[in-house]
Every structure is written in structure tokens, then in C-alpha cells.
Amino acid sequence: MAKKILIIDDDPDVVLAIRMPLESAGYEVRDAHSQESGLVAVEDFRPDLIILDVMMDTHTAGFQLAQKLHGPAAKADHRRIPILMVTAIHQTTPLRFGPDEDYLPVQGFIDKPINPKGLLDEIAKLLSK
Amino acid sequence: MSTITPTPTESPSPGTGLRPTLEELRENTRLLITLRWVAGLSILLGTLAARLFLDIGLQTLPLLIIGLSVLGYNTLLWSFIRAGETSHLQRVQQIAWGQIILDWLAMIVLVHFTGGITSPALIYFVIHAALSGTILLPWQTRSLVGLAVVIVGGLAWFERNGGLPHVRIAELGLDNDLYQNTTYIAAIVFFFGTTILTLSDLVTRNAQRLRQREKHIRELYDARATFVRVATHELRAPLGASLSLMRNIEQGYAGELSPQQRTILTRVTSRLEGLRTLIDDLLTLATSREASTAHAPLEPDSVRAVLERIIEREKPHADHKAIRLDCDLSREPGIVMAGDVGLGIIFGNLLNNAIKYTPEGGHVAVQYRIAPAAHAAEITVQDSGMGIPADDLPHIFNEFFRAKNAKNSQVMGTGIGLSTVRTLVERYQGQITLESDEGQGTTVRVSLPLAPDQTPPKDRDGDI
């Protein structure tokens, strides 16, 4: 059965750019455009992996959602779903942050603009863990 | 091999100074006019009062003429200002000069008729010298002050040797013990008081104006920084989305392309990448401007830690171009007074440039050493890239400058990087030199002074 991937990003063009390679690689894809609809979609769709944008309705919406899904108060079956975070921060500032158990509970990062091949490699890596 | 060290950023030399602005000249001229009304009227009323009520033996007529002259030319100046003769800077400067010369003439005559070298009015030259300083250039004020000393000294000399008659004010009793002379005490206190009052008011006024201006500049500066940050973020989002979509087409996720379509697509992507570089560089510039302003605090930071982070960030780019990246880093943390963001920008730019301008299969070397003698951390980034033509080398640290060979190459760039690096290195009291040979490569050396409490290691300069 095809693995399910949920894209949570408020920019429809970025969603399309992520969706195209995923669908051609045979994944089942759904998208959501805010923190709230993302949380609903996680319940409904039960994805195997989440691709999450940082800036949505607020500058830190992605971080907040990651906390809700993987933080100390999160449900066990939510915590099992790996999160791949989309960010434009790495390339433009010397700021460096990595996945962190307490503060940034995500499993990987991918930089914008998105490189489809790199994205597929990263997803395959996370799903095989 | 040619070498370049940037000349330090220019600051006005105290000798020549900055010209006052038109607005400042006008405002100070108005202040002088107001003070002159007071001075002229005081001479007239003081003389009359001394004559009529105190019965002091002043030479009334000359003093009244001085008072009236002062009021007379002040009226002329006032009408000039009122008539809008002050829209032209040169004209206002002439007025500034003219009024000061007239004032000094009036004052020297006043001093002569109130007792020459014994005149209590002598101290008024102090006020006037300070006022001149607000509207003239430093050398002009100094020349005028020198002239005042010569004139006052000359006057005293002529009066002493009989070249000019000395006006004696008997009531001042200058032959007696002055400390017991009430009139003299009153006169000194009056002139002394008005002098220091005016001077302190003048200095406070100028200090307030400077503070106001600094506040205004800081507000403008903050507004600009915010604008650049917001604008670049807003610009980057659609660009990131467009490039993401373009890469899907390039990599075949949206069907096959004809060779012609592929060529067009490559060109469009290349232009978008150029735009992205520009936006990123502008954002870096805005951040570095913040990091390099005098009010951004300096904090101790480890050269080694920041270098390691930057190397980790840039290594994938080197690998992508099959460039050999050699790193020879001292084990010392190398604590310098800088800012995390600033150090990252310096090393990031240098390493990024080295990798960017070195062809595939080339070589980039990063070296970090502690120089105990200089008490400094020395960072060298060397590449085997295209180098910089000797003609372009003197301009390479200028904002937005790009060397001819860099412009003609396919490498994206904006000419912001090195100027940013230079600004930050200067802010951290460091030095930067750049050696280059066109076609052979470039070596950039940055030396940053270690924080004062750092004891430079003697024998522990190990490699990894």
C-alpha cells in the first residue's frame, strides 16, 4: 500500500511543487494550509510522514504545530509520525538549528527552494527508519 | 601577486571640519540676532543708567553710538533674514562672516571706551568666540580667536604706550584694592554672570540638538532595517515557490520538454537564481549593518566554533563542485569580541566566495591560527579560483563592486559580500588583507584581536 504523506503549507505553489514529485513517486498525498486544518488532517488521514512549513498564519506556526504533534503532551500515535520541516532559514542566515527532542521535535529539514530529487531522498530516508 | 588592504573608513578630520547646514546657519544667525538686540539695548540703557543714576564718568556719546550701531546693523541683518535672503547657503555664510566681523569691531570699541585692558566687558569675547564656533568652520573660529587676542593685546599696548588715549573710569577705582570696590564687584559679577549664562545655554542648546538628531537617525535606521528585513522576506517567499516549481519541470516531474523549452527554462531559472542571490545578499547586508553599528553590543565569541559551523554549512557546496576543502584549525577557541551573527557573516562570505569563484576540481584551504605576538586570531581562506585582475583590486572592498572577470563569469554575485566583511572586521578592530593573481587564485587574511582576558597560548597551537 502506498505510503501517505501530509503537506502542511499555506503557499499553494509550494504545495504543488512538493506534490508533483511525491505523486510521481507513488505516494498518496494530501495537503492542509494552516495549523488547525493540519491537526484535523493528521487525525483523518493518518499520514506516515508530515511535511511542515514554518511560517504560515504566524511566523512560528510550524514550530507550534511540531510541539503539538511531538511535544511532551502529544499523543503516542502522533509522535510516531516523522516530520520534515521546510525552511528558508538555513541558507540565508548563519543560524543553525537541528532537530531537538525538547524544543524542535522534528526529524529533518529541507531548504526552500525545494529540490524535488533531494526531497524524495530525504523522505525515503525518514520512512525507512 | 598584488595585495590590498582597505583604507579605513573616512571620518571628518577635526582640522577641516564639516560645514554647518543651511538650517543650522539660519537658526544660529537668528540666535545671534536675538542676543544682539539684548546687547545693543543693554549698552544704551546701561550707559544712560550709569550716567543718570549712578553718576559714573563714562564717555556717554561714544558708547551710545556703539549701542545704536549695533542695533542698526542688527536691524539690517534681521531684515535680510526676514526678506528670505537666506535660501542660499553661500549668502548665509557671507552674512555669518559679516556679522561676526561687525560684532568684533563693536566689541573692541566698547572695550576701549570702558577701560581698555581693565574693561569688565572684555569677557564678552568669550561668548562671541563660542557663538562664532557654532556657525563657522573650526579653522575660521581659531583664526578669529587669534585675531581677537592680537587686537585686545594691541589695544592694551597702544594705550600703555600712549598711542591711544586710555579711558579711565575713576568710579571703578582700579588703582585701589579692587575686592573692596562695590561697583567693580557688581560689574564683574554682572559680566561674569551673563557670560557663563549665555555660554551654558549655548552649549546645552547644541548638546540637545545633537541628542535629538542622534535619536532621529537611530529611528530612521531602525525603520530602514525593519523595512529591508520585511521586504526581503516577502520577496523571498514567491521566489522560493517559483524556483521550487521550476525545478520540478527541470527534473522532469511535469513531463518531457523540447530542447528549446529546456533552454528557455534554464535561462529563466538562472535569472531567478540571480535574483535570489541579490535578495539574500541584501538581507545579509541589512543584518551586518545592524551587527556593525556602534550600538550593537560586542560579545565574546569563539572563532573556532563559528568557523566549524560555517565549514559544515559550506562543505556541501564544495563537494558538489568536487572542490577539495582543506581545513587546518587550531584547537584554541580563539575568543574575540564580536557578535555571533557578524563572525558568521565574515567567515561565511569568505568561504562562500572561495568556493563560488573556484572552478570544479579546484582547491580551497581554510587555516585558523592564534598569533601570540599580535594577540590575535588569524584566519586565512585561500582558493585556486579565477583571482582578481590587478586593476580591480583597489576597488574590491567597495559596495556593489564586482571584478570584470567575475561579472563575465556565470557566477552569481552582487558585490556586497566583501564590503560587508570589511565593515565588520573594522568594527571588531581587526585587519583584512587580500592577495590575488588573476587566474591563479585569491588569499584573504583576517586578523581579529583576542578578547583582553584571553591569555595567548604559547606551545599549544596544535592542529587537527
Residue B81 C-alpha, separation from nearest chain A C-alpha, in angstroms: 54
Map residue A97 onto helix, strand or coil.
coil
Flag whether residue B251 sits within 8 Å of chain A, measured between CB atoms: yes
Greatest mean pLDDT range, A22-36, B81-95, B122-136, B198-212: A22-36
> How confident is the model at residue A91, as a pLDDT?
46
The residues facing A28 across adjacent strands are: A4
What domains lie within chain B, and their CATH numbers?
Answer: 12-297 (no CATH), 298-464 (3.30.565.10)
A16, B237: Cβ pair inside 8 Å?
Answer: no
- The model's confidence at residue B226, banded by pLDDT at 50, 70 and 90, is confident
The pLDDT score that the predictor gives to residue B464 is: 40
Among the listed ranges B72-86, B351-365, B424-438, which one has the minimum average pLDDT value? B72-86
**Quick one: pLDDT at residue A116?**
93
Per-residue model confidence (pLDDT) at position B171: 64
Max distance between CA atoms of chain B, in angstroms, equals 112
Q: Report whether pLDDT(B463) > 50.
A: no
Which residues 91-150 of chain B have a CB within 8 Å of chain A? Answer: none
User: Does B283 reach chain A within 8 Å, measured CB to CB?
Assistant: yes
Query: pLDDT (tens digit, 9 = 90+) per residue, B229-266?
Result: 777 778 888 899 999 999 999 999 988 999 999 999 98
Report CA B252 to chain centroid distance, whole Å: 55
B285-304 average pLDDT score: 74
- Give every residue of chain A whose pLDDT is below 70, as ranges: 88-103
Q: List the single range of A110-114, B168-172, B196-200, B291-295 with lowest mean pLDDT.
A: B291-295
Q: Is B45 on the interface with A (CB under 8 A)?
A: no
Predicted model pTM: 0.55
CB contact under 8 A, A21 and B239: no
Q: Nearest-CA residue of chain B relative to A90?
A: B313
Element (H, E) at A114: none
Burial A92-105 (b: 16+ CB within 10 A, else e): bbbeeeebeeeebb
Å between B356 CA and nearest CA of chain A: 15
Q: What is the mean pLDDT of residues B85-110?
A: 81
Nearest CA-CA distance, residue A66 and chain B, Å = 21
Chain center to CA of A81: 10
Report the pLDDT value the prediction gives residue B460, as an integer from 0 to 100: 43
Do residue A18 and residue B306 have CB atoms under 8 angstroms apart? no
Pick from A19, A20, A33, A97 the residue to mutate for testing the B interface (most B CBs within 10 Å). A20
Q: Name the residue with higher pLDDT: B302 or B171.
A: B302
**What band does B32 get if pLDDT is binned at 50, 70 and 90?**
confident
pLDDT of B367 reads: 95
Contact B313 A114 (CB under 8 A): no
Least trusted range by pLDDT, from B50-64, B151-165, B433-447: B50-64
